[in-house]
Amino acid sequence: MMTSKQRVLKAFAREIPDRVPINYFSNGEIDRKLKSHFGLKDDDNEGLARALGKDFRMVGAGYTGPKLHPDIPERGIRVNEWGMHMRWIEHGTGGYWDYCAFPLADADLETVKKWPMPHPDQFDYANVVPRCETYKDFALCAGGAGLGDVLNSTGMVWGVEQTLMRLAMDDEAINLYLDRRLEILHECTRRTLDAAQGRYDILWLGEDLGTQIAPLVSLEFFRKHIRPRHQPFIDLAKKHGIPVMIHTCGSSSWAYPDFIEMGVSVVDTLQPEATNMEPEYLKKTFGKQLAFHGCISTAKVAQLDKDGVIKHCRDTLDIMMPGGGYAFAPTHMLQDNTPLENVLAMYEVARTHGVY
């Protein structure tokens, strides 16, 4: 058997490992149900990862600086170091932290100049090597599905409408905001990779580019506002000799030719319901140039019965496995309304049917 690290690197090189690599993401309620099922404590994330056969581990340099933006407890709002306002929203099967208030929606240039942001010195790079060593047999990911993104994280502070309109108008205030934020993130990423001294296996970036039926922005917009801001992160990964995986929700395969030109090796999420995101289309069109991570529909895992989930997972594996280049993962967080038996069946299929 391969180690998790060997398995992922083999798959992401579009070669055949011993079995498909496995990844896991979920909302809080389904996470608690899984831990209870396996007899684990609520905080035993590593125990759950091993129970499911997860091959990836996220290791980063956490923020250690001061509180830059005050919370608003009377409105139930928490505010992080970037100024993103979040409020707990409950629903019938659980809840999640949603973004609200959008404090920069009306911001001008002077407001953006003064907007508090973290300094690269205020992150815990000293703990990177010990954590990498703890998980040295797993595929170690730097960054995450939101690193370097232009639209999604900006929309959490400016609002989606303002983000899209101001970028389309080439507004200097939002351009300054993006330049400031991404310069900080790039420097933090550089220091993290330098600190790890070759221990990372993947740099993970993200950008939401599609609705369920069409692109969210034009190719011209992407090439003007997004591609040039992603490229420095990709170049940084190249300097460290590691592949880049990029998260893109919705109908986003229209951007894959540009990703290939930029040096992206792996595409993530792969919502099969979205236009031109079907497994057959992706494998046939891009399988010789890109590896894939995702494609297991969180909607289907929530809505189908157990047998339907097993069929969906088997069918996806049958399409994506040949020739290597595939990692089994949900298209996003497994949702709180997902039956536990469906999640267990999903990962059982990955561990058994996913063997080469």
Q: What is the pLDDT of residues 117-132, one digit of tens each?
A: 999 999 999 999 999 9
For residue 68, the number of C-alpha atoms closer than 13 Å in the C-beta half-sphere is: 16
Mapped onto helix, strand or coil, the DSSP state of residue 61 is coil
pLDDT tens string 235-259: 999 999 999 999 999 999 999 999 9
pLDDT for the residue numbered 242: 98
Domains parsed from the chain with CATH numbers: 4-69+107-352 (3.20.20.210)
φ and ψ of 210, to 5 deg: -145, 155
Q: CB under 8 Å to 110, separation ≥6 — which residues?
A: none
- Other CB atoms within a 10 A radius of the CB of residue 126 amount to 10
The residue written with tokens 């899209």 in the block is: 164
Q: Answer for the pair 198, 192: CB distance below 8 angstroms, yes or no.
A: no
pLDDT for the residue numbered 26: 97
List 96's β-bridge partners, or say none: 89
Residues of the chain scoring pLDDT < 50: none
